[in-house]
Chain A
C-alpha cells in the first residue's frame, strides 16, 4: 500500500507531463481543507467521539488540446479522528475525446451522475459515499468515483450514453468506525470492531456494472430512459459468509420540465432483484417499484426551496411476509419518503444558509442536514454544520444512524 502511495503521484506527474507535452493548455488548482467534527450523542458505540479530524489537500490538473482532454483530481487526507492515517485517493483521472462528430468517450476514474432527484436516487446506480455525506464533507464527496468507460452517442433522436464499470463499485456506508449502524444480527446499533464489510462479487467480466441512458428534449421537457445491470449498491443480501451485494437490474424513466415558475421532475424505476424473483428469499430484498415527484422554485431573489416525495412499493409482499423470520418486524409494503430543501443566500451570495430534511412518515425517522457557509474571500470559505438523525426504531433507513448526530466546522482555502 505504501509503495502504491509513493508510486501514484509519480504516475500522475508522468501523465501530466506527457499530456502537457501534446496539449496547448494546462491548468492547475485545488484546495486545502480542514474538517473537524464530533458526535453529539454520548452513547454512540463508535471507537471515538470524533467524526472527523482531517486535513485534506486536493490537487487538480487539467490539460487539453483540440483533440483530447485530461483531467485529474488527487486527494491526500491526513485523518486522526481515530487511528492517525494518511490516505490518498484519485477522485478523478480520465481522458476525454471525440471520435467523429457524434461519439464522445470518457475513460478512466470518474464521477458519473444522472437522474432528476435532489439527493435521492432511483436510476442513478453510481456509487455514493454516505460516510462522507453524513460527516460534513463537501457535496462533491457524496459521489464516489468509478473506474469506468463512458461512451456517448448523439444524433437527431437524442443522446445515448453507456457506462461500463468492470469492477463493481459499491456505496460507501457507515462501518462502525466513523459512524455506527444497525446490525440485524445483533438486533441493535453497533460500532467498533469488527468493522462492517460487505462481501464483494468476484472480479469477473460478468460481474461488471452496465448502465445506459437515453435522453432527449421535447421542447423544454427532458425525457430519459435508463437501464442498469449489476448489483444492489448496499450489501442488502445475507449468505453463509455474511452480508453481500445481490444481483440487480433496474429499468426506469424520468421527465423534467419547467412549470409554475419552477422546475418539476418525475422519475420511476423497476428494481428487478434477480436472485429473488418470487420474493420468497427472506435474506434477499424483493423486487420493487420506486417513484418520485419533485418541484423546485425560487421564492425570492435569493431564496430557493424544493420538495420531493418518494414511494417504494415492494412487490410480492405476501411472499415476503410468508417467508420472513417470524422474530423480525416486517417492513411496510410501501415506503414513503418526503424531503425538503431551503437555501437562502445573503450578503451578495457570500453567506449561504442551507437546510435539507428527509422524513419518512411510515418508518417515522428523520435526517436533517444544516449548514451555514461564509465566503470570507474568493479563496477562503468557512462552514459550520450539523447532521441530525432521529428515529422511533433502530432498524429503519435513518433510524439506524440515530446515534451519529454530529456537528462540524470546515475551513477551505482554494488556489
Chain B
C-alpha cells in the first residue's frame, strides 16, 4: 500500500515535470520563432533606416543609414553592413558585423576621411548602437538559448492575440534581469518587450508600432525603444525594404567596406 502510494506520488511528480518541460519547450519554441521572424526574415534583406533619438528634453537627433543583412544559418551566423548617410559628420562611414552566436562578433569600422579600416573589440553587446536607446544586441538579436523562458499566459493586445513570455538569463547578465515579451500569435513578431533591470524595476520598453506585409513577410517597420528610467526614446523606421535581394557574401568583406556596393546602396 505504501509502495503504491509512493508510486502514485512519483507518477504525479513525473507528470508535473513533463508538463512543465513541455510548457518550457513551448515557450522556447515561441521565442525561437519570434527571433527568426524579427531578425532572420528572408535569406537576406536591404532597408533604408531612419533613426530618431529623442532625449528627456525632447531634443531630437537623427541617424540615416542603409542596412544590408545576410543570413548564413537560420538562427545562427549572420552578416550586417551599415552605410551611414546622416548626420554629416558620419556620412559615408561604413560598419560591418560578422555575428557569431557562439563567440564574440567581429566588427569593422571604415572611416573614409582618413581611409582607415578599424577593427572594433566587441566584448560588450550592451553598448548603445550609435548613441541610441537600442543596444548592439537589440539590433542583431539575443539568441533564445541564452535565457530560460516561461509561457505566462495568452492575452489580447488590441485585436491581436499574444503569448506573454517571461525570460530570465541563464547566467547573470547586465542587459536585463528579466524580460517580458508579448508575441503575436500569428506573425510571431514581438509587439512589446519589457526589460527589467537588476533591481527588477522596469527599465526599457520595446514596441513594434507598425507591422507591414513586405513580399509576404510580416515586418515590424516602425519600432520604438523607450528608456522609462531616463525618460528618453528612440524610434527606428524601415523603408524600401527588399528581402532576398541576392546580397552576396563577398559584400561583407574589407573590399566592399571601403567601396560601398552601389547596386544596393544609393
Contact = CB atoms under 8 A, between A and B. Distances in A.
B124 A262 contact: no
A111 B124 CA distance: 32
Given A64-B262, A378-B61, A415-B88, A302 B114 contact: no
Question: What secondary structure prevails in chain A residues at the interface with B?
Answer: strand
A156 B247 CA distance: 19
A301 B126 contact: yes
A348 interface: yes
B155 to A, nearest CB: 33
Interface string B104-115: 101000000111
Contacts of B255: 104, 152, 154, 159
Interface string A139-154: 1101100000000101
A143 B115 contact: yes
A234 interface: no
Interface residues of B, number: 37
Nearest to B106: A220
B266 interface: yes
Contacts, number: 96
A298 B121 contact: yes
Interface in B248-266: 254-255, 259, 262-263, 266
B123 A96 contact: no
Given A104-B255, A154-B255, A159-B255, A379 B87 contact: yes
A80 interface: no
B192 interface: no
Interface stretch (A24-32, A330-338, A395-403): A24-32
A113 B130 CA distance: 24
Given A104-B259, A261-B123, A62 B92 contact: yes
B131 interface: yes
Interface string B58-78: 010110000000000000000
Contacts of A159: 254-255
B128 interface: yes
Nearest to A301: B127
B259 A111 contact: no
Question: What secondary structure prevails in chain B residues at the interface with A?
Answer: loop
Contacts of B115: 110-113, 143
A139 B53 CA distance: 26
Contacts of A302: 127-128
Interface size of A as a range: 35 or more
A160 to B, nearest CB: 11
A14 interface: no
Interface in B72-118: 86-89, 91-92, 104, 106, 113-117
B61 A140 contact: no
Contacts of B121: 258, 261-263, 296-298, 304
A62 B116 CA distance: 19
A359 B266 CA distance: 45
Contact of B53 (A110, A348, A412): A348
Interface in A373-394: 375, 377-379, 381
Interface string A216-238: 00001010000000000000000
Contacts of B263: 66
A325 interface: no
Contact of A143 (B91, B114, B131, B262): B114
B116 to A, nearest CB: 5
Interface in B17-56: 53, 55
Given A297-B121, A298-B127, A29 B114 contact: no
A377 B59 contact: yes
Given A152-B255, A258-B122, A298-B121, 19 more contacts: A66-B262, A96-B259, A113-B115, A113-B117, A140-B113, A142-B114, A143-B114, A159-B254, A220-B106, A222-B254, A256-B119, A258-B106, A262-B123, A263-B120, A263-B121, A297-B123, A298-B123, A301-B128, A349-B130
Can you list the 10 inter-chain pairs with the closest CB atoms, starting with the nearest?
A349-B131, A414-B88, A261-B123, A378-B87, A140-B113, A262-B121, A113-B115, A297-B121, A111-B115, A348-B131
5 contacts: A111-B115, A300-B124, A301-B128, A414-B88, A414-B89
Interface of B: 53, 55, 59, 61-62, 86-89, 91-92, 104, 106, 113-117, 119-124, 126-128, 130-132, 232, 254-255, 259, 262-263, 266
